[in-house]
Amino acid sequence: MRDVAIIGVGMTNCGELWEQSLRDLFVEAALGAIDDAGVDHIDSMYVGCMSSGLFVGQEHIGPLMADYLGMGPVPATRVESACASGSVALRTGMLEVASGANDIVLVGGVEKMTDVGGDEATYALATASDQEWEAFSGITFPGLYAMMAVAHMHKYGTTREQLAMVAVKNHDNGSKNARAQFPMKISVDMVLNSVAVADPLRILDCSPITDGAAALIICPADQAKKFGNKAPIKIIGSGHATDTIALHDRADMASLEAVAKSAAKAYEMAGKKPSDIDVCEVHDCFTIAEIIVSEALGFAEKGKGGAAIEAGETALGGRIPINTSGGLKSKGHPVGASGIAQVVEITEQLRGDSGDRQVKDPKVGMTQNMGGTGASSLVHIMEVM
């Protein structure tokens, strides 16, 4: 198997992008990645997308995007794993390059979520839960993550204020990100006094509905330095794991076993451990998610993720900066694109291109992206070549 490197990145702004269609968003990100890589062709492409059929009424988007990008007849495949769709697309493309089947592969993610109303968006997102048990009973993802928060608070003493601190940190980072959907700073009091969604979660604990796209160009690592004018970023670890979709079927609602297992696989492949990671993007769809994920990745002891955020360990300048982009919470969460957008952030951090939110001299970065309440999880580890 060949080593694989990222040689180009591209990304749209995140937000309510009324003037751009699903295909417009993907093409903007893809052209950005192609230009960044300096390649004149691609051999194949993968498109992560959760629910374009429900959001915009369009399926069969692999060939659609290849055509609109002007890259037909290259093979193009749509990949779906709920909010982890982008990361599964990356892993699939990475394995294609590693196998030797193709050399230059475009991996992207896209979602256009704001063309429908709130009820329709909620329905589309709920398809990532267990339809016969959870969705049938009327519970949505804020309710499911609220139950996870209550379980974590009861078991470990995590506080309502610690949840709010996740949102405050990520908005502070997002205020430095020109692509972010909500680039404004907030306070703990603002979070605590915002509209209740599902106790104990408030609206400022929740990631938004977002339009956006992101893309990467990957190739064999031994060819990477032939392209572009920026340092290639080698993918040194990749892990993928699953769990029950239904939250009630798990032994512990206060932990995320698929995250822990996908991380263990990635650490083993990379020959790294948690203390080797300099910067990380995690799936903070709700504030409690970042806390539990940080524990599953080994950045905090189980039950101590809230204390780590309170101590500033995950802030810029902290022991392990998490969600320097602003995370899903501030940057935005275009579900099919979020996993790729995380890799764009880590690539730019490792290149030293992150401006006011730049981590000092990072060498190794990580992304963690999951679907639903952690029924699927992917972890990727990258380093500067």
**280 given a catalytic annotation:** no
Residues 346 and 227 in one domain: no
Residue 22 sits in the same domain as residue 153: no
Active-site hit among 240, 283, 333, 380:
333
**Structure confidence by residue, pLDDT tens digits, 83-124:** 999 999 999 999 999 999 999 999 999 999 999 999 999 999
Same domain, 139 and 98: no
182 with 56, same domain: the answer is no
Catalytic residue among 83, 219, 280, 285: 83
How far is the C-alpha of 196 from the C-alpha of 187, rounded, in Å?
16
* Percent of the chain residues past pLDDT 90, beyond the cut: 99
> Taking 90 as the threshold, does the pLDDT of residue 228 lie above it?
no
Overall domain count for the chain: 2
339-350 pLDDT, tens per residue?
999 999 999 999
C-beta separation of 39 from 8 below 8 A? yes
218: containing domain: 4-117+209-233
Tell me the helices (H) and strands (E) count for the chain, helix number first: 13, 11
Kindly give, in sequence order, each residue whose CB lies less than 8 Å from that of residue 244, ignoring residues fewer than 6 positions away. 250, 375
| Residues 266 and 348 reside in one and the same domain | yes
> How far apart (Å, rounded) are the C-alpha atoms in residues 164 and 118?
24
Q: DSSP H helical segments within 113-256, as ranges? A: 118-126, 141-156, 160-174, 188-192
- pLDDT average, residue stretch 259-271: 98
Once rounded to an integer, what is the mean pLDDT over residues 303-319?
Answer: 98
Q: Are residues 216 and 269 in the same domain?
A: no
Same domain assignment for residues 154 and 180: yes
> What is the CATH classification number for the domain harbouring 347?
3.40.47.10
CA atoms within 13 A on the CB side of 169: 29
206 assigned to active site: no
The verdict on 169 and 215 lying in the same domain is no
Tell whether 151 and 104 lie within a shared domain: no
Q: Same structural domain for residues 80 and 155?
A: no
Q: What is the mean pLDDT of residues 252-263?
A: 98
pLDDT single digits (tens) 120-140:
999 999 999 999 999 999 999
What pLDDT is attached to residue 143? 97
